[in-house]
């Protein structure tokens, strides 16, 4: 169990107690709390709790490095065959932990996602703007993954450790969640969602920076599907060029065409530039498709290094 924490002093003890209560029903377990450079009493409370609860391993960053880096730190230290990730603010009920693990084992899956946006999923007390931005981000990023997944940015997940041992994770921010999915799907791991309820934060302040999070998710989408960016821009430029050409042809028919007008050059440049951007998008898409082979090679290399240790 991995829980990244950043300035969560109001939630630390509540979250750990609730999580422990659920995990005690699952057999042997370990809780890894990663303090991501908190400036409040989060680390102090974690260390106090760990002294009386040996199942808790506390890891810390000297400065805030982001959710992705905190999760990666936890992944390196996790020892179990199944790894579950959870927010520190209990926006997802800990009871879902057992449901994720059960689904993982019963259906021989590699990743199980708690999804508030799939059929049967719910949200409660989420501000409208945050909910709207989140839904749009999940739709856009989900499209880039070529898989019918409704919630791709959420942290509530259960992984087989083999999945995390097989891929190179690079993200340091919230884009780590779609990155893991993208790479896992590319090399053939099985993924499934189960419906859950996402609730608004009760204690503490949200750490999500909507602007930076939205930008990072858009950049991830364009990285995965270059044609979503270059295709739109290229087609738009070609369309503008064609509309200009139609207008110039109309002027020619009515005898008012002046070949020296800048619009003539503008039309030619827009069409040529649009075609070039479309070609660049096509090439970028072909390069993107090669990533799957790279991920497979990375998986084989990581497994080989593990065997040689």
Q: Do 147 and 260 belong together in one domain?
A: no
- Does 16 have pLDDT greater than 90? yes
The contacts of residue 260 (CB under 8 Å, 6+ apart) are none
Q: Do 82 and 195 belong together in one domain?
A: yes
Q: Do 27 and 78 belong together in one domain?
A: yes
Q: Do 246 and 283 belong together in one domain?
A: yes
pLDDT digits (tens, 9 = 90+) for 145-178: 877 899 998 999 999 999 999 888 988 888 899 9
> Can you give the pTM of this predicted structure?
0.79
How far, in Å, are 18, 58, 76 from residue 47 at the CA level?
17, 7, 20
Please report, for the domain that includes residue 83, its CATH number.
3.90.550.10
pLDDT digits (tens, 9 = 90+) for 217-259: 777 777 777 777 788 888 898 898 888 888 888 887 887 777 6
The contacts of residue 173 (CB under 8 Å, 6+ apart) are 66, 67, 68, 212, 213, 216
Q: Do 57 and 204 belong together in one domain?
A: yes
- Does 112 have pLDDT greater than 90? yes
- Does 211 have pLDDT greater than 70? no
Last residue of a domain, one of 204, 224, 244: 224
pLDDT band per the 50, 70, 90 thresholds, residue 42: very high
**Residue 129 is encoded by which pair of tokens?**
């703007």
Last residue of a domain, one of 203, 224, 245: 224
Per-residue model confidence (pLDDT) at position 95: 93
Q: How far apart are CA 260 and CA 249, in angstroms?
A: 14
- Does 204 have pLDDT greater than 60? no
Per-residue model confidence (pLDDT) at position 265: 77
Domain count, the chain: 2
- Does 198 have pLDDT greater than 60? yes
User: Which residues pair with residue 193 across a beta bridge?
Assistant: 113
Q: Do 32 and 104 belong together in one domain?
A: yes
Q: Do 80 and 160 belong together in one domain?
A: yes
Domain encompassing residue 258: 227-308
């Amino acid at each position: 169990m991995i829980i990244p924490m950043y300035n969560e002093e109001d939630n630390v003890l509540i979250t750990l107690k609730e999580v422990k209560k659920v995990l005690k029903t699952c057999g042997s377990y370990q809780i890894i709390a990663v303090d991501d450079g908190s400036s409040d009493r989060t680390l102090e409370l974690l260390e106090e709790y760990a002294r009386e609860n040996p199942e808790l391993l506390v890891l810390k960053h000297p400065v805030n490095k982001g959710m992705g880096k905190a999760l990666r730190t936890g992944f390196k230290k996790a020892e179990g065959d199944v790894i579950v990730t959870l927010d520190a603010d209990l926006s997802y009920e800990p009871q879902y932990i057992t449901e994720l693990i059960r689904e993982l084992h019963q259906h021989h899956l590699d990743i199980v996602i708690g999804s508030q946006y799939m059929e049967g999923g719910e949200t409660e007390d989420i501000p409208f703007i945050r909910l709207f931005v989140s839904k749009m981000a999940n739709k856009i990023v989900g499209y880039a993954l070529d898989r019918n997944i409704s919630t791709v940015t959420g942290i509530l997940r259960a992984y087989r450790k083999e999945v995390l041992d097989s891929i190179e994770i690079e993200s340091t921010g919230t884009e780590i969640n779609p990155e893991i999915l993208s790479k896992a799907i590319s090399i053939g791991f099985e993924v499934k969602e189960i419906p859950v309820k996402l609730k608004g934060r009760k204690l503490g302040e949200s750490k999500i920076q909507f602007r930076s999070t939205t930008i990072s998710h858009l950049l991830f989408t364009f990285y995965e599907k270059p044609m979503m960016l270059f295709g739109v821009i290229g087609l738009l430029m070609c369309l503008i060029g064609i509309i200009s050409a139609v207008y110039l042809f109309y002027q020619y028919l009515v005898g008012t065409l002046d070949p020296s007008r800048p619009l003539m050059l503008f039309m030619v440049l827009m069409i040529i530039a649009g075609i070039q951007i479309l070609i660049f998008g096509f090439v970028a898409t072909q390069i993107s498709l090669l990533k799957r082979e790279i991920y497979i090679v990375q998986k084989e290399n990581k497994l080989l290094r593990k065997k040689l240790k």
